[in-house]
Amino acid sequence: MNDRLALLAELPHGPHEPLGWTPPRRPGSVRRTTSIDQRRGGPAGEQEILACGRDLLIRADGTTEVVDAVTLSATVDAMGTIVTIETQPHVPELAELVGGHMSKGMRGRLDELLPAHREGGTVLLQLLDDFPMAALISMYGSSREQPAFALPPEAGARLTDLCAGWAGGATMLDALARTGIFPIPIGPPAPDLQPSDDPLAWHDLPPLAPRSVRRRRRLDLSPGDPLELDVHFRDSHLGADGVEDVLHEYTLTATLDPTLTVLAAAASARVLPWPECPGAVDSAGRVVGQPVSALRSLVASDFTGTSTCTHLNDVLRSLVGATALAAALDR
């Protein structure tokens, strides 16, 4: 056992209770599922991004209609610059992203290039909005494969108090300060979320390639007064050994009024790396009273510091998708 694994074995970890099932599709509801894979291993250090998603309307009689579906592929060089990007259906405006960084300023450029998608909370917006964090979580895999990997000192200082898990003096940074070893977390095995009796529960996902990370989401919106929203979010990593482990996982329930203002929201931490991380779950309640259309900008500006979690923030950002799901309910 190397020094990093020995350290991890000694440290306390956060919750390790990944969801082992996907709930049945409810008649009269609409379901969004998305996934984004970041695959490493190109000869020049480039990475491949494969993303896809679908909004599926489930009518009261159980029949279904795909109301939105997108597939996306992109290549990114070793510096994070987007080299190619293609979607089906074709979106010509995305050519403007080529040559730009996949995380720095990415979301601002999206809002400028795709105002209709921003306002509509479309599948494409969700896939592209996940680019920056896909870049971040992809570092877990590459770091694990380098036994001598060390966090640059300036990075530790810059990230201290970024979120609950990176709080100064908390488990991770304390271990780094005591030992000089950056503890790269390993999560529990990832249960299969595809029900054997429902091939439409999720969109068609490509095989998860070794040495890649996957972010997958599910949002179910059910009609009523209020509207009910059920959300599942998971980041996972498939190692070179073929074992997939869960890095981060949340579930969230929310209710919305007819104007899509959040009436209630509660998050549950299923898998998180450190014992301090679940301390951020109450931040989900801070979106109450806000229209879902405002959450992307609100979370970016106000959800910072040790009372928050960057991954829960991404769950909250995704609630803008209720705009498109509610429109599908009205079809």
> Measuring CA to CA, which residue among 120, 118, 115, 62 is closest to residue 327?
120
C-beta of residue 132 within 8 angstroms of C-beta of residue 311: no
> Along the 331 residues of the chain, how does pLDDT read in single tens digits?
578 888 999 999 999 999 999 999 999 999 999 999 998 766 557 889 999 999 999 999 999 999 999 999 999 998 889 999 999 999 999 999 999 999 889 999 999 999 999 999 999 999 999 988 777 777 776 777 777 777 777 777 888 999 999 999 999 999 998 998 889 889 999 999 999 999 999 999 999 988 889 999 999 999 999 999 999 999 999 988 889 999 999 999 999 999 999 999 999 999 999 999 999 999 999 999 999 999 999 999 999 999 999 999 999 999 999 999 999 997 7
The strand pair at 30-39 and 212-222 is best described as: antiparallel
Residue 256 domain boundaries: 3-329
C-beta of residue 131 within 8 angstroms of C-beta of residue 102: yes
What token pair was written down for 169? 């003096």
Instruction: Return phi, psi of residue 280, to 5°.
Output: -90, -5
Question: What pTM was estimated for this model as a whole?
Answer: 0.95
pLDDT at 241: 85
What token pair was written down for 114? 């795709």
C-beta of residue 215 within 8 angstroms of C-beta of residue 238: no
Spatial distance between the Cα atoms of 194 and 71, rounded to a whole number of angstroms: 19
Spatial distance between the Cα atoms of 226 and 324, rounded to a whole number of angstroms: 17
Spatial distance between the Cα atoms of 204 and 33, rounded to a whole number of angstroms: 10
Chain centroid, CA 172 distance in Å = 22
List, for residues 287-320, the tens digit of each pLDDT value. 999 999 999 999 999 999 999 999 999 999 999 9
> Per the structure, how many domains does the chain have?
1
List, for residues 159-178, the tens digit of each pLDDT value. 899 999 999 999 999 999 89
Q: 211-230: buried (b, 16+ CB within 10 Å) or exposed (e) per residue?
A: bbbbbbbbbbbbeeebbbbb
C-beta of residue 307 within 8 angstroms of C-beta of residue 283: yes
Spatial distance between the Cα atoms of 213 and 278, rounded to a whole number of angstroms: 22
